[in-house]
Amino acid sequence: MTESQKDLVKATVPVLRESGVALTSYFYNRMLSNNPELKETFNMGHQRSGAQAQALAGAVLAYAENIDDPSVLAPVIELIAHKHVSLNIQSPDYAIVGENLLHSISEVLSISMDDPLIEAWGVAYGQLADVFINAEKAIYEQHQQTKGSWLGWRSFKIAKKVQESSEITSFYLKPSDDGDLPTHQAGQYISVRVLVEELGLKQPRQYTLSDSPQQDYLRISVKREDEKGDLAGGWVSNTLHGLTEGAEIEVSAPTGNFFLFDKDRPNVLISGGVGLTPMISMLNHLASLDMPESVYFYHACRNGKVHAMKSHVQELNAKFPQLTHLVAYEFPETHDQLGQDYDIAGRLDLSALSDDQLPKDADYYLCGPMPFMAEQQKALVARGIPAENIHSEAFGTGGVKLSA
């Protein structure tokens, strides 16, 4: 890019801050109208809620703000590249996105496609697309070289369903072709794609694998998303809950850059709600290794009815003295028993824990709702935990990397 083109892109930053979501909403409506086949690539629930438009608006703004040195966005690019691979996004898709994005900028800002600003954004987008295409090519090649892995979608059957709480059900998935499975990293995720009858479309959704690597199945634990007031339920999640054992779904290969990094260090696993799924995967993996170092498992949820996999963690806690286990119920029910079902009444407050419960030489993993993770991140940094030792993952569109 020329310096004048960079200046033009940077000049759009105030507009993106003010009207970025309006622009990206217009873009998605335009693209999905012109290319309806992409409705089976993009999650329409995220379109309905506006989450996809908000995520893209944030990404476009970040790119414009860092156009002089896009390398600072490398961690975010890596995270999104894994998401794209999980959805089987290919290089030709970037041309479709680029064309619709540039036309959207032109139409929303009421400027000609011949305007120098459109040319500048065309060059900027082309460079960013190349970065993503190359990053994704490397991940695709890694899958090709991994025994048992695959590219794109593969048919799986639901071998078993297990109700874990009033909201969460585990699905044990086995390949329909009875073929091999790859050894994934504890904490990684898959995409599943199901036919949503209400839409008449196949719809994808990403779910973290909730068990340590197994030879003959993949397990996901899915929260049923009921309608609440004006908020609609989750199309994919609720479709899954309605499927019976033996039903077939489409699955992408395990991927993602949020996983257990070092089994030989103390590890602190902090989760909220259904965010416990990657933590259970990590915990089970460490248990399979007889927990070579201390492990701290801290979980927060509303009450005992929604507390998934409680008995499983309690059994591991009894088996491994090096496992410290704390549970916080924000709204305990009358049948919940303090000291047995949970340890803390109210929200999980890391500032109230002792130094022994938050070791400075440990790796920390966070997963759960965004406000929950932001609160725990802030508390850990305030306690002197190095920011580089704190790793986070968010469910939903695009994921997140929290900074100190």
Indicate which CATH number applies to the domain containing 329: 3.40.50.80
* Whether residues 160 and 279 fall in one domain: no
* Whether residues 18 and 114 fall in one domain: yes
Structure tokens at 220: 């996901």
Cβ atoms of 98 and 125 within 8 Å: the answer is yes
Is 400 within the bounds of a domain? no
* Whether residues 169 and 68 fall in one domain: no
Counting Cβ atoms within 10 Å, is residue 337 exposed (0-12), middle (13-18) or buried (19+)? exposed
* Whether residues 138 and 7 fall in one domain: yes
Is 401 within the bounds of a domain? no
* Whether residues 279 and 389 fall in one domain: yes
Is 399 within the bounds of a domain? no
* Whether residues 45 and 131 fall in one domain: yes
Q: Is the dihedral of CA 244, 155, 205, 105 positive or negative?
A: negative
Digit-by-digit pLDDT tens for the chain (404 residues) are 899 999 999 999 999 999 999 999 999 999 999 999 999 999 998 888 888 888 889 999 999 999 999 889 998 899 999 999 999 999 999 999 999 999 999 999 999 999 999 999 999 999 999 999 999 999 999 999 999 999 999 999 999 999 999 999 999 999 999 999 999 999 999 999 999 999 999 999 999 999 999 999 999 999 998 765 444 568 999 999 999 999 999 999 999 999 999 999 999 999 999 999 999 999 999 999 999 999 999 999 999 999 999 999 999 999 999 999 999 999 999 999 999 999 999 999 999 999 999 999 999 999 999 999 999 999 999 999 999 999 998 554 443 333 32
Catalytic status, residue 136: yes
Counting Cβ atoms within 10 Å, is residue 182 exposed (0-12), middle (13-18) or buried (19+)? middle
**In which order are the strands placed within the sheet that holds 363-367?**
344-345, 323-329, 295-301, 267-272, 363-367, 390-393
Structure tokens at 236: 């994919």
Which of 227, 251, 275 is the last residue in one of the domains?
251
* Total domains, the chain: 3
Is 19 within the bounds of a domain? yes
Report angle CA 14, 397, 260 to the nearest 5 degrees.
Answer: 115
* Whether residues 201 and 276 fall in one domain: no
* Whether residues 220 and 335 fall in one domain: no
Catalytic residue (choose from 28, 63, 125, 136): 136
Cβ atoms of 176 and 192 within 8 Å: the answer is no
Cα 152 to Cα 44, 86, 320, 396, distances in angstroms: 19, 8, 39, 20
Helix, strand, coil tally for the chain in percent (to 5): 45, 20, 35
Q: DSSP letters of 287-319? A: HHTT-SS-EEEEEEES-GGG-TTHHHHHHHHHH
Q: What's the CA gap between 86 and 151, in Å, rounded?
A: 9
Is 260 within the bounds of a domain? no
Q: What is the pLDDT of residue 172?
A: 98
Place of tokens 């970040």: 62
Catalytic status, residue 364: no
* Whether residues 274 and 329 fall in one domain: yes
Report angle CA 354, 358, 362 to the nearest 5 degrees.
Answer: 155
Structure tokens at 158: 């639901």
pTM over 0.95: no
**In which order are the strands placed within the sheet that holds 248-251?**
201-208, 189-196, 248-251, 154-163, 168-175, 218-223
Backbone angle region of 355, left / alpha / beta, with phi > 0 → left and psi within -120 to 50 → alpha: alpha
Non-local CB neighbours of 55 within 8 Å, separated by 6+ positions: 46, 397, 398
Non-local CB neighbours of 281 within 8 Å, separated by 6+ positions: 186, 187, 208, 209, 210, 211, 212
Q: What is the pLDDT of residue 228?
A: 58
Which structural domain range is residue 330 located in? 267-393
Which of 94, 111, 145 is the last residue in one of the domains?
145
Q: What's the CA gap between 158 and 156, in Å, rounded?
A: 7
Place of tokens 């959805």: 87
Q: What's the CA gap between 25 and 2, in Å, rounded?
A: 29
Place of tokens 């969460």: 168
Element (H, E) at 201: strand 201-208
